[in-house]
Structure formats: structure tokens, C-alpha cells
Amino acid sequence: MAVYQIPPLPSEDKRWRIVNGTMRRHGYSRNALIETLHTVQSSFGFLDRDSIQFVAQSLRVPLSQAYGVVTFYHFFSMKPPGRHTCTICTGTACYIKGAEKVVAAAEKHLHIKTGETTPDGNISLMTVRCVGACSCAPVALMDGDQVGQIQAAQVIKQLQGWAPHE
């Protein structure tokens, strides 16, 4: 019986060991694909070609399937995030309380669309469908910290604070 060779780690980067650890914990079974991709994303910030290939090979999943999973779920990103991330919730409660205006103001301020990163790689602007903090709507996650009852001016101020200082 042919013994399947687990591919070597793509580089010396210690983060690959964390990824490998997740796969080992699940016994390199195919159904650990999403769990492993979560680990890659949380360690590296995004998923690139090399990492998807490595995970697919290690778990013996066709590359097409791995790529299909990555592109299916909104949580996975194939673009490196900016140094700072501004995520605005566009769930129903936030919509009713005017999240659209905040998104529009942030887009205008940064001159980018949601889902994009500023050309200097400083700020990513994202939207999310409900973070479950509807009582505090409208809600934004500024670098992962939840801010409730936001107003456009407040978000702009924070974005200005993130601007690189010359």
C-alpha cells in the first residue's frame, strides 16, 4: 500500500507549525479543511496560493475543492489585509439605524470601496453581516475592537488617527 507523504512545510516560518498542528489534531482528515484554513487565516492574515496548495496537499483534498471552499466563504480572504481594519456591520439593526451612511462616509474618506485596502496598504475597509451586537447598533469593529452607536464623524476621526504620520 502506498504511503501518502505529507508535504514538507513551505518555509521555516514558525506559523506553519501552528497550521500543521491543527491538521495533526484532526488526524489530517479531509473534513478539517475549513478548520485548517481558519488557522492559516488567523496566523497569516490571509490565504495565498502557497498556503491553499499546502493545506490541500496535506489533507489530500483536490486543489479545486480547497479553492472552492476558500472562495465560497466570506470569512476567508485572498488579499492581504491592511495594517488597520475598519469593519462596519451592515446587519438589519445597523441598517435601520443608518449604517449605510457610515459606510458611504468611510468610502468617501478613504477613496476606496468596501472590501478594498488603501493603495499604501494602511487601512482595509470591510463590511460584515451582523456581529450580534444589535443592541448597540450601528456597530463597527475598529481593528477588532467593537465600537457601538457609531456616527460617521466618529469613524472618520478614527480613520484619520490611523493615517501614517510623516
Partner 1 sequence: MNSEELQQIAEAVRLEHEKYDYEINVCMGAGCLAQHSDKFKDALAKEVESSGKRCHVRSAGCLGLCAAGPLALVDPIEVRYGHLRESDAKEVIASLGGKPVERLEMHLENYFQGQQHVVLENCGRIDPEKIEEYISRGGYEALLKALTEMDPQGVIDQIAKSGLRGRGGGGYPTGLKWGTVAKAVGSPKYVICNGDEGDPGAFMDRSVLEGDPQRVIEGMVIAAYAVGATKGYIYVRAEYPLAVSRFSASLREARRHGFLGANICGTPLLFDIEIRLGAGAFVCGEETALIASIEGKRGTPRTRPPYPAVSGLWNCPTLINNVETFANVAPILRNGAEWFAGMGTAHSKGTKVFALTGKITNTGLVEIPMGMPLREIIFSIGGGVPDGHKFKAVQTGGPSGGCLPEEHLDLNISYDALIGAGSMMGSGGMIVMDDTSCMVNVARFFVEFCMTESCGKCIPCRAGTAQMFGLLSKICNGEASHQDLDLLIDLCDVVKNTSLCGLGQTAPNPVLSTLRYFRDEYLEHIDHHRCPAGVCACNARTPKAELAEVTV
Residue 59 is which amino acid? L
Q: Which is nearer to partner 1, 141 or 163 (CB)?
A: 141
Q: Of the listed pieces 1-9, 74-82, 103-111, 156-164, which binds partner 1 according to CB under 8 A?
A: 74-82
Burial call 70-105: b when 16+ CB within 10 Å, e when fewer: beeeeebbeeeebebbbbbbbbebbeebebeebbeb
Contacting partner 1 within 12-41 (CB under 8 A): 30-35, 37-38
Site for partner 1 contains 128 (CB under 8 A)? yes
Site pattern 43..72 for partner 1 (x: CB under 8 A) = ------------------x---x--xx--x
Q: Which is nearer to partner 1, 53 or 122 (CB)?
A: 53
Contacting partner 1 within 77-106 (CB under 8 A): 90-97
Contact assessment for residue 161 and residue 145, using Cβ atoms and an 8 Å cutoff? no
Q: Closest Cα to residue 70, out of 91, 90, 88, 44?
A: 44
Binding site for partner 1 (CB under 8 A): 30-35, 37-38, 61, 65, 68-69, 72-76, 90-97, 128-137, 145-149
